[in-house]
Chain A
Amino acid sequence: MIAGTSVPSAAPEPGTEAAITLEGVHKWYGAFHVLQDINLTVMRGERVVVCGPSGSGKSTMIRCVNRLEEHQQGRITVDGVELTNDVRTVERIRRNVGMVFQQFNLFPHLTVLDNLTLSPIWVHKHPKREAVETAMEYLERVHIPEQANKYPGQLSGGQQQRVAIARALCMKPSIMLFDEPTSALDPEMIKEVLDVMVELAEAGMTMICVTHEMGFAKTVGNTMVFMDEGMIVEMAPPSEFFENPKSDRTKKFLSQILTH
């Protein structure tokens, strides 16, 4: 979990045990081949940053990891459990995988606190008091404990996204998936969300993060993944990826996002 590490910069090195593996994963929407032979291993504690043009299948790929989308070929293993159609397997994996969406997807009819405690109480069967305590703890970690009793509609975008992160963390997941968490935010709110994500990385969370925030990728990323047209085109540590990209498509993409 987010331990209060006093060392500000370096996030810990990833372990050697695989947390997520995708092997030869294919997926089609009708005739459209959206994922083509995806192979990716994420170690425990590793932070993988996925980038690529819009429509390249980034969201689809990470949504396959917690079965919001079904893959049709290949194997996906999460925490040593292979994803199948079995409802119990899916539930088990979802309990261990937190997800943060571009559009926050908070529950607008529930207060912030109820958003946070819903899953701990009803899925993880924690006593209500304990769930509330945990929720308040995480709200403090994302720096908005004072908003606990408001409704999501009364918060700014940045605050809502931090609530969404806290909501996912309340399940005490071992893995976090982020799907463009800052893309729907006004520029002045991006930093407050990224700060929370950096803190999470420094605490050693296993993360797959789809983002175009290259500063974030350079600070905490262990591995950069570049996707295009449903394929992983390039995969490398950030230093190598940014200084020395191999494929032309990566070079073109980087020149577009770094100069705009």
Chain B
Amino acid sequence: MTRRTETPGEISAREEEPTHVSLPPPKAPATTPLMAFDWAKKNLFSNIPNTILTLLCVWLLWETIPPLINWVLLSAVWSGGDPAICKAAEGACWAFIAEKHRFMLFGLYPFDEHWRPLLATALFVAVLATSCNPQFWRPWLLGLWAAMLVVCGTLMWGGVFGMTFVENARWGGLPLTLILSVVGIICSFPLAILLALGRRSDMPGIRAVCIGFIEFVRGVPLISVLFMASVMFPLFLPEGMTIDKLLRAQVEIIIFTAAYLAEAIRGGLQAIPQGQYEAADALGLTYWKKTYFIILPQALKISIPPIVNQFISMFKDTSLVIIIGLFDLLTTAKTALTDPPWRAFYVEAYLFAALIYWVFSFFMSRYSQYLERRLETGHRR
């Protein structure tokens, strides 16, 4: 929590412009070579150890950056589906990505139908982007999400409107990763809130159930539960009955994320002063109204950093579903490498997958920072 106190000046600045106060930056004095020299002398060469460190860093950068640029850009092979050209070249083999990107992105989904997962992913991202604007946090947004999920499901499964049916065992790559994590986020969040509230409940029964659930789930690794569910679970099911692999993975991800998230939210709940509860009680609010209007908005705001942390980590953990044979983005990238002529280009394959993961994770991180600023109302605790 930032405990900054506001000066009256800041308060009045806010009065004039309620949204974002961005004062023009103080005019920077024009930098002259002489000033740059002074700055360097003061900050980089102030004494002997400092000078040595500076020189060491310059040397390291000199040794690493140019070869890297050379490998990534200058000597890279960009196109042409021939592995031999890549082998001969010194740089990265982006031709491999060009050749295999559709498999990496969409996995085993029928090649001629790739437009369907592509469209579904685009829709998904568009609705996600819309939801990022707090102005749109209205009931209709829920409707939009429901509609989007229906449309995406239709696109992915098909079987109607002349689209061939594609069973979900063949889904893979980026759409699979996005589905697992976004559905995971949407479902685990309310569950986590209930668990966190339950853990602080006055009712011993509810409290015990919530504590038991959270502590059990946190006590075992996700990968072992996924594994047990795929290998052992079917042994206990009656003959001929199976539970869909994707559904199983999804449920496990939801349960896991919810348990960790519940603890993050509980931290926020504990930070709410007793006076807030008392004021709400004195106003006659019932437990649920008090929780919904007063406690949760404040607790969730405090918990934004750990919540987002959890989401990012869950987003990347979806790659563990390989253990039950689902082809998420990381697995498709790896599988693309099993094509013998391209086997040598694993660095490119992993870089490609890593870049996609990074874009999404980085976005989540930046978005959480934006939300925190946006929800700041100038109160001090």
Contact = CB atoms under 8 A, between A and B. Distances in A.
Partners in one complex: yes
Interface of A: 66-68, 91, 94-95, 97-99, 101, 103, 105-110, 118-119, 122-124, 149-154, 167-168, 171
Given A68-B281, A99-B279, 4 more contacts: A105-B278, A122-B285, A123-B285, A154-B378
Contacts of A150: 15
Interface of B: 6, 11, 14-15, 18, 273, 275-276, 278-286, 289, 293-294, 297-298, 301, 375, 377-380
A149 B18 CA distance: 10
Contacts of B298: 107-109
B167 to A, nearest CB: 46
Contacts of B279: 99, 101, 105-107
Contacts of A152: 377, 379
Nearest to A151: B377
B298 to A, nearest CB: 5
A110 B285 CA distance: 15
B284 A119 contact: yes
A106 B294 CA distance: 10
B377 A108 contact: yes
Nearest to B285: A123
Label chain B's interface by main secondary structure.
Answer: helix
A146 B284 CA distance: 27
A66 B379 contact: no
User: Binding site of A, secondary structure by majority: helix, strand, loop or mixed?
Assistant: loop
A99 to B, nearest CB: 4
B278 A153 contact: no
Nearest to A124: B284
B284 A95 contact: yes
A42 to B, nearest CB: 18
Contacts of B378: 151, 153-154
Contacts of B11: 154
A123 B293 CA distance: 12
Nearest to B279: A105
B268 to A, nearest CB: 12
Contacts of A106: 279
Contacts of B377: 108-109, 151-154
Contacts of B18: 149
Contacts of A94: 281-284
A122 B278 CA distance: 17
Contact of A101 (B15, B275, B375): B275
B18 to A, nearest CB: 8
Contact of B289 (A97, A99, A109, A123): A123
A190 B280 CA distance: 25
A6 to B, nearest CB: 32
A31 B304 CA distance: 41
Contacts of B293: 107, 110, 118, 122
Contacts of A151: 377-379
Contacts of B280: 107
Contacts of A107: 276, 279-280, 293-294, 298
Given A107-B294, A109-B297, A154-B15, A98 B282 contact: yes
B379 to A, nearest CB: 3
Most A Cβ at <10 Å: residue of B289, B294, B377, B380: B377
A102 to B, nearest CB: 9
A106 B273 CA distance: 11
16 contacts: A66-B281, A68-B281, A94-B282, A94-B284, A105-B278, A107-B276, A107-B293, A109-B297, A109-B298, A109-B379, A110-B293, A119-B284, A122-B289, A154-B11, A154-B378, A168-B283
Contacts of B273: 103, 105
Contacts of B297: 109
B340 to A, nearest CB: 60
A153 B285 CA distance: 23
A153 B279 CA distance: 16
Nearest to A120: B283
The 7 residue pairs across chains A and B that have the minimum distance between CB atoms: A153-B379, A108-B379, A153-B378, A105-B279, A105-B275, A151-B377, A119-B283
